[in-house]
Amino acid sequence: MITPIKILGFCGSLRPQSFSRAALLLALEIAEKQGASVEFFDPLVHILPLCTGAKEYPDYPAVELLKKKSTEADAFILSTPEYHGSFSGVIKNTLDLLSFDELSGKIFGAISALGGVHNSNALNDLRIVTRQVHGWMVTEQIAIPQAWKQFDAEGKLTDPKLEERLQGLVTAVVTKTNLLRVG
Ligand SMILES: Cc1cc2nc3c(=O)[nH]c(=O)nc-3n(C[C@H](O)[C@H](O)[C@H](O)COP(=O)(O)O)c2cc1C
């Protein structure tokens, strides 16, 4: 039997009621339904230091855990708030603590949540970063505009079009990861 692909989720917001976090949890739920093994590297639980460029962070066991989980992952879903027209420092810092060793050659999908109207700024900028580490970001993506009005009390998306787009993104990540692994 083929073992399921592993998808690791990173969130770029430290707000407990974060919409990018809600979207990521939905995405991971969809991926699990599609047969993937999923995990959320919760930044509120695993406290990461700011990247200093050091190889080791002995005071922060979360860094080792981040590297281990990332090594095991076949693919990543990055979910970020839009901050000042780009992705957040939190998501960049998470990626900066990793290297080619854990990221290269793997599939990436990206989600952004923003307070304003729809745009792809954070998503486009994440494409540049993932290309730099030799990752493969799928062409599908989702920006959730005016995120404050897109979720119900259970954290589900209320707009069927956004829900469909999220499904499309996750399907692309799962399909491409399976293809890359078999190939
Ligand atoms: C520092 C900061 C910068 C922001 N910059 C933008 C921005 O450039 N464009 C925008 O539409 N919303 C911006 N927002 C609003 C956030 O994108 C919005 O509140 C989003 O829901 C935050 O993500 P979260 O819910 O996952 O924490 C900004 C918010 C903060 C705190």
For the stretch 133-143, pLDDT in tens is 999 999 999 99
For residue 26, give the 3-state DSSP assignment: helix
Q: Which atom of ligand 1 is nearest to the CA of 12?
A: 26
Residues 89-125: tens digit of each pLDDT = 999 999 999 999 999 999 999 999 999 998 999 999 9
- Assign residue 131 the CATH number of its domain: 3.40.50.360
Mutate to test the pocket of ligand 1, among 114, 119, 162 (most ligand atoms within 8 A of CB): 114
Amino acid in position 138: V
**Residue 122 is assigned to a structural domain of this protein:** yes
Expressed as residue numbers, the domain containing 150 is 6-182
* Residue-level pLDDT at 118: 87
Q: Let me know if residue 140 belongs to a domain.
A: yes
Output the DSSP codes for 96-132. HTS-HHHHTT-EEEEEEE-SSS---HHHHHHHHHHHH
Reported as a single tens digit per residue, the pLDDT across 63-98 is 999 999 999 999 999 999 999 999 999 999 999 999
**Nearest ligand 1 atom, CA 14:** 27
Nearest residue CA, atom 2 of ligand 1? Answer: 83
CA distance 42 to 79: 12
* 1 occurs within a structural domain: no
Which residue's alpha carbon is at the smallest distance from atom 24 of ligand 1? Answer: 18
Number of structural domains the chain divides into? 1
Q: What residues line ligand 1, using a CB cutoff of 6 Å?
A: 13, 15, 18-21, 81-85, 113-116, 147
From the alpha carbon of 119, which atom of ligand 1 is closest?
11
Residues in CB range of 132: below 8 A, 6 or more apart = none
